[in-house]
A and B are shown apart, each in its own frame.
Chain A
Amino acid sequence: MEAAATANGGDHAAVAVLRETTPFGEASGALLARIAALARLARYGAGARIYAPDDPADDIFVVVSGRVEHVLDPEVGAREGVKRVARGGVFGWTGLLLGQTRRMATVTALEPTEVLRLNTDDLIKLLSAEPLEGEHVLERFVSMIQREFTVPALLARVRRLSGPLTEEMSKLGLTMYRMSLWLKSPRPYLMLIGFALFLGFWYLAVEVWKLPRFREMPGPTSVVKEWLSPNPTYGLSLYTEEYYQHIIVSVWRVTKAFLLATVLGVAFGLLLGWSRAFKEYVFPVFEMLRPIPILAWVPLAIVMFIATESAVVYLAFLASFFATALNTMLGVESIDESYVRAAHCLGADRWQVFRHVIIPGSLPFIFTGLQISIGVSWFSLVAAEMVSGQYGLGYVINTSYMMVRYPTIVIGMVTLGLVGYITSAMVRIAGDYLMEWRVRELALSER
């Protein structure tokens, strides 16, 4: 019945079939080669019983050719208990479950079949040696078990190399986990390399090679020297209290402008998307006001608002508002009609559809809009703070321009950029937190 398991000679062929499987499909060539080296080829005739429930769960099977029938034990509770597995399919993964050492299915070859057998414990050892990739492979096992074998009750028991199962984590836990993954991945380092390249180019262009139009710019050394100087020539550095006052004032203004723009913009955008009548009356005016630059609003703002601070916040709010409202409107319009129809079929009235379909359905677009809007808010700050007269990063940049203090202009710009980046990332994280469903969906499609 069962042919003897032979040592695997055809590594290439093994790697090829491993690539076709769900769990191993995206592993690196190096890892696959090592797994292939572990694998043993086995052959079964048509009708052969490969294993039955309660047999020891020693190996994982990968089908190379032929077809087997995999019938899960009714006790397991899978409703799609019968599955046919052909080339590229994987079965016999019970050994991956914590505390499971016995088979849960009956597997029979429907025709002459060739498989690769991988000893479960050896595989785990191999994957542990490659924590990042190994983790990824196990995640894909989970994915496969859930999707193809439909036994989600077992998911909780799949062994992990380290860390919890994402499906089980709370929202906060998920966010923290993703951040820790990000830190462990190469991405933050690539980011730093990107910055280093940029700074390197700036340094070389201005100070070393002295390229034609770059030569007159302030170079990174003069900027950094000024920035880190306890007694800066032009009055602004990491050591001066004023520096932090400027940052705090600007951050506070942007926060106010952004929150106002979000609340009003989302409400406005939802109305624009939801009510055709509203859109017809209001959208043309909206579109006409939208392209007007902030600088043009400055004199009007000063006259319109009693407090100078309100004028500044208004100016920073404007562009933000437009970005948010427009994106929200597009978000509403992007919602697939089927969702609204389904809600109607299920008896929801207009307001319920708005609350349960329109608003959550537009959230992804809204958050894209919010990321843009907070950037735009920072951007407007330089113009907005012209009105302020005393504090703010935009004010610093303006004044330094007037007083021809080049290094300080760059310090202002860089600080604004950094702080803006941080706030933007915070918005993105908030979005991930609120739209957990999307994060999980994207995670499963490997993004």
Chain B
Amino acid sequence: MNMRHFIAAAIAASLSSAALAQDYGKPGGPVTVVVGYQPYYTQSWSGVVMRGKKFYEKYLPKGSNVEFQIGLQGAIIVNNMLAGKQHIGYMGDMPSIVATTKTEVADVRLVANLGLAYDQCNAFLVRNDAPQFKNDQEAIRWLAGKTVAVPKGSCTDRFAQATFKRFNIQPKEYLNQNIEVITSNFRAGKLDAAVMWQPTTSRLVDEGLARLIATGKSVQENDGGFLAMRADLIKARPDIVKAWLQAELDAQLFIADPKNATEVIKMAKEQTTGFSEKVLWNSLYGRYPDSAGGGEMRNTMHYTFTPETRELINRAATFLHSIKSINTEKIRPEAIEAKWTEEILKERNLKAPIAEVKALPASQAPK
């Protein structure tokens, strides 16, 4: 092959690979999909279960290929979905909303809710040597004039700012740091407080680096996760959308069933590193003291777009717009495709919310 042939072949390959990028096959035929999910965020754990139990095999056409890719943060999954490297994404509420606003790059839409909770994302942690508080309200007031860090742009940011506003307090410093830096800073004793999502919250508590003092329950701010899909997938293969969402329903029911707790945690442990089973169990099934904002309800799977879910989406969008993270105040109506989940609920005679994850007795926790 001389030089000219080589160049021609290279060009053809690169162009064709681009064209081939989003070919989802014929309706009814096998499909290859890449799924991005965040095992390091509990709201994404139906994805963990999907990967572990392979519920989708029951519904997808024979010969289909599913590849799971771990995203350490929501932003990574957003980027990958926009670039067409992933077609389905399990993300927290904030990244999933951001993903729907980048239409100039790609059209991404939300097709299901993964869960709504008061303390999966919204958890205030303070340094271990902070004073003991009588209750979460007193603890929040203590935050005034302190150094607080959050990964900005995430649900933690929204929660922190809402809390400060409601209590009319200002921190001395409001820093933007990622999880690793926050962890190191707690270790070095440089932070007074931070907001973190599960399971990292439990790990920091377990390692004695910080204490939980308030959650979204303290201020009635919830958080959630959503399942997103690329619009071209939805258009080209509605059969796959439905198939996946059927499997998703199974997965959500599976997590909520207390009998499966041990298995769920086992799967979570396999798909993450640096977290013990005890910490993972505490994240989803543990009971935090009421004085720290803990409650019995750990997660509610709405599955479809109930009014509560939509309210969360609107609130989140407004917040994102206010911090100039997105360019619109309300997400476009077609970005929420509720019809799929509504259909499936009707078929299977279920009502949303379809399940609830309740806190389990501490005796059942792994050692």
Identify the A interface with B (CB < 8 A).
Answer: 212-213, 216, 222, 232-235, 298-299, 302-303, 306, 308, 386-387, 389-390, 395, 399, 401-406
Contact = CB atoms under 8 A, between A and B. Distances in A.
A177 B323 CA distance: 49
A389 B82 contact: no
A233 B324 contact: yes
A387 B82 CA distance: 28
Interface string B186-220: 01101000000000000000000000000000000
Interface in B45-96: 73, 75, 78-79, 82-84, 95
B149 A389 contact: yes
Q: Chain B interface: which size bin?
A: 35 or more
A27 to B, nearest CB: 40
A404 B102 contact: yes
Contacts of A389: 149, 173, 175-177, 181
Contacts, number: 82
B194 to A, nearest CB: 11
| Closest 4 pairs (CB-CB, A-B) | A389-B175, A212-B18, A235-B324, A403-B153
A403 B75 contact: yes
Nearest to A305: B188
Interface string B278-320: 0000000000000000000000000000000000000000000
B98 interface: yes
A212 B17 CA distance: 9
Contacts of B95: 404
- Most B CB atoms within 10 A — which of A212, A232, A402? A402
B130 interface: no
Contacts of B75: 401-404
B176 A308 contact: no
A308 B189 CA distance: 12
B324 A402 contact: no
Contact of A216 (B98, B106, B176): B106
A399 B325 CA distance: 10
A225 to B, nearest CB: 12
A395 B177 CA distance: 10
A233 B152 contact: no
A226 to B, nearest CB: 10
Interface string B5-23: 0000000001101110000
Contact of B177 (A222, A235, A387, A404): A387
A399 B190 contact: no
7 contacts: A216-B83, A302-B188, A389-B173, A402-B151, A403-B152, A403-B153, A406-B105
A399 B176 CA distance: 8
Contacts of B17: 212
B347 interface: no
B93 to A, nearest CB: 14
A298 B83 contact: no
Contacts of A232: 324
Given A216-B82, A404-B325, 17 more contacts: A212-B14, A222-B104, A234-B325, A235-B324, A298-B180, A299-B184, A302-B187, A306-B190, A389-B176, A389-B181, A390-B176, A395-B176, A399-B153, A402-B178, A403-B152, A404-B95, A406-B105
Nearest to A222: B104
Contacts of A306: 190
Given A212-B14, A399-B152, A234 B324 contact: yes
B188 A303 contact: yes
A302 B153 contact: no
B56 to A, nearest CB: 27
B274 to A, nearest CB: 13
Contacts of A395: 176
A413 to B, nearest CB: 16
A401 B80 CA distance: 12
- Most B CB atoms within 10 A — which of A213, A222, A399, A404? A404
Nearest to A395: B176
B260 interface: no
A213 B15 CA distance: 9
B327 interface: yes
A302 B185 contact: yes
A386 B181 contact: yes
A298 B325 contact: no
A401 B72 CA distance: 13
B173 to A, nearest CB: 7
A403 B98 contact: yes
Contact of A302 (B73, B83, B152, B190): B190
Interface in B311-356: 323-325, 327
Contact of A386 (B14, B19, B178): B178
Contacts of A403: 75, 98, 152-153, 325
Contacts of A235: 323-324
A231 to B, nearest CB: 10
A216 B106 CA distance: 8
A393 to B, nearest CB: 14
A237 to B, nearest CB: 11
A306 B177 CA distance: 17
Contacts of B151: 402
A232 to B, nearest CB: 8
Contacts of A406: 102, 105
Contact of B18 (A213, A234, A386, A387): A213
A389 B148 CA distance: 10
A386 B102 CA distance: 25
B39 to A, nearest CB: 19
A212 B15 contact: yes
- Most A CB atoms within 10 A — which of B14, B75, B325? B325
